[in-house]
Amino acid sequence: MPDSLAGLLQVGVLILALGLAWRPLGDYIARVFTSERHLAVERLTYRLIGVDPDGDQRWPVYARAVIAFSVVGVVLLFVLQRVQAHLPFSLGLDNVPTALAFNTAASFVTNTNWQAYSGESTMGYVVQAAGLAVQNFVSAAVGLSVAVALIRGFTRSRTDRLGNFWVDLVRGVVRVLLPLSVVAAIVLIACGAVQNLSDNTVVTTLLGHHQTITGGPVASQEAIKQLGTNGGGFYNANAAHPFENPGPFSDLFSVFLLLLLPVALTRTFGRLVGDVRQGVAVLATMTLLWGVLVVAVTALELHAGTLEGTETRFGIPSSALYAVSTTGTSTGSVNSFHSSYGGVSGGLLILNMGLGEVAPGGVGSGLYGILVLAIVAVFVAGLMVGRTPEYLRKKITGREMKLVSLNILTMPLVVLVGTGIAMSFSAPRSSMLNDGPHGLSEVLYAFMSATNNNGSAFAGLSADTTFYNLALGIAMLLGRFVPIVLTLALAGSLARQQPVPESAGTLPTRGPLFVVMLAGVTVIVAALTFFPVLALGPFAEGLR
Amino acid sequence: MNLSLLASALPGAFRKLDPRVMVKSPVMFVVEVGAVFSTVSAILDPSVFAWTIVVWLWLTVLFANLAEAVAEGRGKAQAATLRRTRTETTATLPDGGEMPASDLRPGDLVVVVAGQVIPGDGDVVEGVASVDESAITGESAPVIRESGGDRSSVTGGTTVLSDRIVVRITAKPGESFVDRMIALVEGASRQKTPNEIALNILLAALSIVFLAATVTLQPFAVYSGAPQSVIVLVALLVCLIPTTIGALLSAIGIAGMDRLVQHNVLAMSGRAVEAAGDVNTLLLDKTGTITLGNRQATRFLPLAAVDEADLADAAQLSSLADETPEGRSIVVLAKQAYGLRERETGELPQAEFVPFTAQTRMSGVDLPDHQVRKGAAATIMAWVHEFGGQTDTTLTRTVDTVSEAGGTPLVVAERRGGSARALGVIALTDVVKDGMRERFDQMRAMGIRTVMITGDNPLTAKAIAGEAGVDDFLAEATPEDKMALIKAEQAGGRLVAMTGDGTNDAPALAQADVGVAMNTGTSAAKEAGNMVDLDSDPTKLIEIVGIGKQLLITRGALTTFSIANDVAKYFAIIPAMFAGVYPTLSSLNVMRLATPESAIVSAVIFNALVIVALVPLALRGVAYRPSSAAALLRRNLLVYGVGGLVAPFVGIKLIDLLVSQIPGLGR
């Protein structure tokens, strides 16, 4: 079977599987966030942390709760790494250096999972399990909460209440992420992923060398890493490592897992706003962007035919599919090295993140990201039909545009300014493995990945330096929390409004026309912003 | 737009270069700052290329200012005419004393006699006069103004042609109708509308993103071994930020107001014009808006023994002297339906016409051999009985049928040789104006619900509503009902537009999102509404909605065009900047522009010229046909989105062909 046909089949199976899961999972999540009942374990949690689960919060309160929770997360994770030597199961590893500990704490709390370290040789089991794995769950749940709060902004009227962050967070973990990741972990173990708590095993090879074989709770980590669009691998080689990703099925299953929640959330969105077709339009936009990129990257790579940096077990189509899905979901796990892709496809992967992680984006963040872009699209399109623009029966006034504009400004500013600073000084430049355009791509990729909370690396850049640890840590925090606060403010502003009735004069936001418009706005805004730097990096390298 | 207008706008365009003025338009302010930087840079390091860019950057700013100045200029001419009416007049007080008009305060009484100019806005409290209002309406036919009722308001600056009236002043000096009109057409009181503010925010955000992209390009360029000059970076920035819409935004707003003025409608704020585009519900008064002002004869219904032509003849005879619109319509119907020529007054020498009086409640004619009468059913039946005739149930049934269908029945009877008999019934009905049904269909397609307001009973109202094709009606409407309806609509999130003229309309006019007061109305109504229609044509509400929509569409279309333009500009400028160090990037030079310098210059020139090219569009507004939102979006996206993508590729290439001939820029 030729590679391209195998690739097509694979994509077909993937889309079918996601299509089957879309409706039940999306509806289930919608019920989770609208149910009046609290589970016993949830009620216990609320009593332990001392919150009233029935207290609706105004947006500033909701936002403060998100920030406070995340700050505590960063501090805990930082401390845990700094005292690692004194923890049990530390595999004899030393305390993590300050800058790296900050970077890693920021990275996991922001759902980025940028790893400036090598997993197996830096983090012991306690940090992995009590620190990183916990954040894998809760950081994804934070994204989920913010998305749900934004949806409430659309569905509620004349109120300043957006729901309760603690309830959304706990439910996201208990009812959505935990059960799904248990199932996923079992499937992965069945595929052959490693799952134990043993010390490293040292074996003597046939040639008489000693080899250290690492163990650990890999499969469980792997499940939430994909499901929560986290991406932080147990091993440095991430999903190219056979213990994480044993074979072709586990590979495809991983792609399925990382796309699952962002895709299903469009159904949840449609359900909650009372019009499933609105969710379908958003999903269609995501699929369009993702599909075009999968086809483009696969075709370019097959045409180039280079396998360097690609895990030969998977081949080019699987690697391209994985690469586009991971850069489009803010997951950042990799089964091949993006640095090895041709210049243009590498550029496309960077651009995919530069879209703002909306195709289909991270858990929750993909949805709220694309809804913010939808407001921009609706604004321009709405003017063109001669009415004050409205989306989902809420008017887009100056206040909404202010919040949306600041929101879409944040990511490009952080990426461009960060990369600009890095390229202006010789110390950060010395981290580059390559010179010329490829070197620029390495740095650009790092800031793009960090700011968009993706976490994948281009490979080549030595990022474990004080500059990059601090700069990228700050980029991750800004890239995550500035949009979150602005999104919640937007939700608050929308919730206060009285909905306007729909009529034939209302811009339809369901049809193919709107899908094209939304995809167009997403691509044009990102492409126009990053075109110059992409031209000097990947395109200068890749064009012939 | 003509040359003299352009010439008179030029000084204004230069005055607007003042940074304190420019800063109000963030996009163009960035261009101006960029132009200053480039100028300094060109002075320090002069070259043909540098100076060409500098000149065109300044032209870009000037073109934007010129667009605004031209838009304002069109209003200025009108303002000048209005200002002349404001020349100092002297007011005569009832006691015979005199004082300057500018000292009048609300509540003061003044006397105006034929030939005098009314010194200020107010209401007639005594007398009746014909007034020439052409100074503000442009309509030369005089209008009647009288105390009491809905025709009591007079406007300062208009001239009394006959009689004497006493006016109570209602406006403070400097806040009169004419003052407001002047401020309006000049754009002096123009404030940014909500939508304009929202758009400005988006444009500012885009400008910031592109500023960041341009500024951070320098370290990458230095790293790549191709540091860029300030001039090239400014050129890139100016090409990327949405200058087209930024330059034309305020001109579009001024022109939108101006279009209303050309329709003889004065909007008190731009906000109202925008709201007109958003309207969900139109409240339309039946009489004068949906139907012709008066009921008209539409059918003759003869009784069993009577020939239809005889009835028509008798009806015509009885109406010859009836100069009311109803009476005229009977004569017209007789002529149209039965070919009965209108008899001249001298044709029936012995005829004695009986006019309608409040006592007799009928009109008719006495001829030598017989008498004809027409009037309300009860009156005529009494007349027939009085002269020994009989009426049967057929007549009462016919009368009832006409009433039930929403018409007014008039009974015709004659008396020959002593005995009287009823001949039949004339049905007077409301006649829906031509083309109303099509207009309401359009409204529906645009998502606007139309509600007819009438004092008629529900039965009549329903019949007319069905005939006219409105979506809903409010029958036996009192001002309170109207108010309640508006509030109910607004509570459902809908925006309501209405017209009104009477004092009792004032609260509803104030409550409505778009309240259009008729100029013939009372000053209370004019104060309450946010627009005044100088032609007092209630149908114009529909046009006002169209103008509001056109204003928004023009903004949206030019924004889309502006952003779509950027793609081509990148393909011109980026290869020009970096093909030197990365020759592979020249494959992005899809337009095959001659040299890097000519490429950049061409992009900048295109960027400036496209502003000039679009000024007429901005002033006129984009073509707008009422249709559904989906259809409008498809069309505008195709024209301005796809068009905006393609046009600059062609434009820049053409300019490059010329520019590359200039020594120092070409090869």
Nearest to A416 among B213, B563, B582 (CB): B213
Please tell me whether B358 is known to bind a ligand.
yes
Chain A contacts of B628, Cβ < 8 Å? Answer: 504-505
Q: Report the alpha-carbon distance of residue A72 to residue A80 in Å, rounded.
A: 12
Q: If we measure between CA atoms, which residue out of B1, B59, B71, B9 comes closest to residue B251? A: B71
Q: How many C-beta neighbours within 10 Å does residue A487 have?
A: 26
Query: Does A531 score more than 90 pLDDT?
Result: yes
Stretch 104-143 of chain B: residues touching chain A, C-beta under 8 Å: none
pLDDT at B187: 65
Please tell me whether B360 is known to bind a ligand.
yes
Q: Do A398 and B197 touch (CB under 8 A)?
A: yes
Nearest to B559 among A380, A437, A539 (CB): A380
Q: How confident is the model at residue B176 (pLDDT cuts 50, 70, 90)?
A: confident
A478-to-A67, A452, A527, B240 alpha-carbon distances in Å: 12, 9, 21, 26
Q: If we measure between CA atoms, which residue out of B345, B295, B352 comes closest to residue B325? A: B295
Percent with pLDDT over 70 in chain B:
97
The whole-angstrom distance between A525's CA and the closest CA on chain B is 9
Mean pLDDT of A242-253: 90
pLDDT in tens, B277-296: 889 999 988 877 788 767 88
The whole-angstrom distance between A485's CA and the closest CA on chain B is 18
Q: Report the alpha-carbon distance of residue B632 to residue B617 in Å, rounded.
A: 17
Q: Do B278 and A388 touch (CB under 8 A)?
A: yes
Chain B contacts of A413, Cβ < 8 Å? Answer: 208-209, 212
DSSP B425: E
pLDDT in tens, B493-528: 899 999 887 777 888 899 999 999 888 777 788 888
* Beta-bridge mates of residue B168: B109, B123
State in words which class domain B104-172 has: mainly beta
Mean pLDDT of A161-190: 96
Q: Report the alpha-carbon distance of residue A136 to residue A108 in Å, rounded.
A: 7
Nearest to A540 among B549, B585, B628 (CB): B585
pLDDT at B121: 86
A-B contacts at Cβ under 8 angstroms: 212
The whole-angstrom distance between B380's CA and the closest CA on chain A is 51
Q: Do A535 and B636 touch (CB under 8 A)?
A: no
Please tell me whether B501 is known to bind a ligand.
yes
Mean pLDDT of A478-503: 95
- Report the C-alpha dihedral over residues B572, B573, B576, B579, rounded to 10 degrees: -90
Q: Do A440 and B195 touch (CB under 8 A)?
A: no
Q: Report the alpha-carbon distance of residue A245 to residue A258 in Å, rounded.
A: 14
Chain B contacts of A393, Cβ < 8 Å? Answer: 493
Q: Do A381 and B637 touch (CB under 8 A)?
A: yes
Bigger pLDDT: A64 vs A215: A64
Q: If we measure between CA atoms, which residue out of B415, B409, B370, B369 comes closest to residue B389? A: B415
Measured between CA atoms, the residue of chain B closest to residue A416 is B216
Residues 6+ apart with CB under 8 A from A291: none
Measured between CA atoms, the residue of chain B closest to residue A417 is B216
The whole-angstrom distance between A26's CA and the closest CA on chain B is 29
Residue with tokens 């209003």: B75
Q: How confident is the model at residue A1 (pLDDT cuts 50, 70, 90)?
A: low
Q: Do B223 and A498 touch (CB under 8 A)?
A: no
Please tell me whether B322 is known to bind a ligand.
yes
Mean pLDDT of B529-553: 87
Mean pLDDT of B460-469: 87
Nearest to A383 among B212, B559, B567 (CB): B559
Answer whether B488 touches A (CB < 8 Å).
no
Q: Report the alpha-carbon distance of residue B205 to residue A406 in Å, rounded.
A: 7
**Across chain A, how many H-helices and E-strands are there?**
21, 4
Query: Does B78 score more than 80 pLDDT?
Result: no
Please tell me whether B362 is known to bind a ligand.
yes
pLDDT in tens, A403-433: 999 999 999 999 999 999 999 999 899 998 8
Q: If we measure between CA atoms, which residue out of A457, A384, A471 comes closest to residue A422? A: A471
| Residue B258 near residue B185 (C-beta atoms within 8 A) | yes
| Residue B67 near residue B253 (C-beta atoms within 8 A) | no
Residues 6+ apart with CB under 8 A from A445: A338, A346, A349, A350, A457, A458, A461
Whether this prediction's pTM lies above 0.80 is answered by yes
Query: Does A242 score more than 90 pLDDT?
Result: no
**Averaged confidence pLDDT in chain B:** 87
pLDDT in tens, B579-623: 899 999 999 999 999 999 999 999 999 999 999 999 999 999 998
- Report the C-alpha dihedral over residues B29, B552, B251, B537, rounded to 10 degrees: -150
CATH code linked to domain B265-290+433-534: 3.40.50.1000
Mean pLDDT of B378-395: 87
pLDDT at B576: 94
pLDDT at B85: 65
Q: If we measure between CA atoms, which residue out of A472, A464, A474, A525 comes closest to residue A118? A: A464
How many CA atoms within 13 Å lie on the side-chain side of A413? 17
Q: Report the alpha-carbon distance of residue A411 to residue A526 in Å, rounded.
A: 10
Two tokens, residue B479: 């001002």
Measured between CA atoms, the residue of chain B closest to residue A544 is B584
Bigger pLDDT: B440 vs B338: B440
A238: left (phi over 0), alpha (psi -120 to 50) or beta: left
Mean pLDDT of A312-319: 85
Q: Which of B108, B123, B150, B285 is catalytic?
A: B285
Measured between CA atoms, the residue of chain A closest to residue B582 is A540
Which range has the worst mean pLDDT, A377-391, B345-359, B407-421, B495-509?
B345-359
Q: Can you give the C-alpha Rg of chain A in angstroms? A: 22
Answer whether B446 touches A (CB < 8 Å).
yes
State in words which class domain B292-431 has: alpha beta
Q: Do A386 and B582 touch (CB under 8 A)?
A: no
Q: What angle do CA B398, B401, B402 make, to 5 degrees?
A: 90
Q: Report the alpha-carbon distance of residue B131 to residue B142 in Å, rounded.
A: 5
Q: If we measure between CA atoms, which residue out of B575, B593, B592 comes closest to residue B584? A: B575
| Peptide bond between residue A360 and the one before it cis (omega within 30 degrees of 0) | yes
Question: Which backbone phi and psi does A62 adopt, to 5 degrees?
Answer: -60, -45
Bigger pLDDT: B263 vs B44: B44
Residue with tokens 């110390």: A427
Please tell me whether B505 is known to bind a ligand.
yes
Which of A385, A414, A502, A544 is most worth mutating to test chain B (most B CB atoms within 10 A of its CB)?
A: A385
Two tokens, residue A383: 């003017």
Nearest to A498 among B201, B280, B493 (CB): B493
Q: Report the alpha-carbon distance of residue A372 to residue B447 in Å, rounded.
A: 26
Stretch 251-310 of chain B: residues touching chain A, C-beta under 8 Å: 274, 277-278, 280
- Domain positions in chain B: 3-76+184-260+548-660, 104-172, 265-290+433-534, 292-431
Two tokens, residue A252: 């495809």
Mean pLDDT of A456-485: 94
- Does the annotation mark B430 as catalytic? no
Answer whether B3 touches A (CB < 8 Å).
no
Which of B27, B191, B192, B195 is most worth mutating to test chain A (most A CB atoms within 10 A of its CB)?
A: B195
The residue type found at A544 is R
Chain A contacts of B574, Cβ < 8 Å? Answer: 531-532, 535
| Residue A311 near residue A338 (C-beta atoms within 8 A) | no
Mean pLDDT of B24-53: 95
Chain B contacts of A401, Cβ < 8 Å? Answer: 198-199, 201-202
Helix (H, G, I), strand (E, B) or coil at A336: strand
| Residue B323 near residue B335 (C-beta atoms within 8 A) | no
Q: Do A501 and B199 touch (CB under 8 A)?
A: no
Mean pLDDT of B327-350: 78
The whole-angstrom distance between A160's CA and the closest CA on chain B is 18
Mean pLDDT of B97-113: 86
Answer whether B221 touches A (CB < 8 Å).
yes
The whole-angstrom distance between A345's CA and the closest CA on chain B is 16
| Residue B309 near residue B547 (C-beta atoms within 8 A) | no
Q: Report the alpha-carbon distance of residue A42 to residue A82 in Å, rounded.
A: 31
Q: Do B567 and A503 touch (CB under 8 A)?
A: no
Q: What are the DSSP E strand ranges found in B539-619?
A: none
Which of A344, A525, A536 is most worth mutating to test chain B (most B CB atoms within 10 A of its CB)?
A: A536
Chain B contacts of A405, Cβ < 8 Å? Answer: 201-202, 204-205
pLDDT at A202: 83
Q: Do B212 and A424 touch (CB under 8 A)?
A: no
Mean pLDDT of A58-76: 97
Q: Report the alpha-carbon distance of residue A407 to residue A479 in Å, rounded.
A: 10
Q: What angle do CA B119, B122, B125 make, to 5 degrees?
A: 110
**Range of A44-53, B366-375, B404-413 with top mean pLDDT:** A44-53
Residue with tokens 């919150």: A51
Q: Report the alpha-carbon distance of residue A510 to residue A279 in Å, rounded.
A: 8
| Residue B622 near residue A500 (C-beta atoms within 8 A) | no
Q: Do B212 and A376 touch (CB under 8 A)?
A: no
Answer whether B181 touches A (CB < 8 Å).
no
Q: What share of chain A is helix, strand, coil (3-state, %, to 5)?
A: 70, 5, 30
The ipTM assigned to this model is: 0.94
Q: Which long-range contacts (CB under 8 A, 24 or more apart) does A388-392 make?
A: A388/B194, A388/B195, A388/B274, A388/B277, A388/B278, A388/B552, A389/A507, A390/A500, A390/A506, A390/A507, A391/A154, A391/A509, A392/A154, A392/A273, A392/A278, A392/A509
**Averaged confidence pLDDT in chain A:** 92
Percent with pLDDT over 90 in chain B:
38
pLDDT at B244: 95
Q: Report the alpha-carbon distance of residue A528 to residue A516 in Å, rounded.
A: 17
pLDDT at B569: 94
pLDDT at B345: 57
A385-to-A381, B208, B234 alpha-carbon distances in Å: 7, 27, 34
Q: How confident is the model at residue A504 (pLDDT cuts 50, 70, 90)?
A: confident
Q: Report the alpha-carbon distance of residue A139 to residue A230 in Å, rounded.
A: 8
Stretch 395-434 of chain A: residues touching chain B, C-beta under 8 Å: 396-398, 400-402, 405-406, 408-409, 412-413, 416-417, 419-421, 423-424, 429
The whole-angstrom distance between B25's CA and the closest CA on chain A is 16
B449-469 in b/e burial notation, b at 16+ Cβ within 10 A?
bbbbbbebeeebbebbbebbb
pLDDT at B351: 81
- Domain positions in chain A: 2-542
pLDDT at B639: 95
Q: How confident is the model at residue B273 (pLDDT cuts 50, 70, 90)?
A: confident
Nearest to B634 among A439, A501, A513 (CB): A513
Answer whether B638 touches A (CB < 8 Å).
no
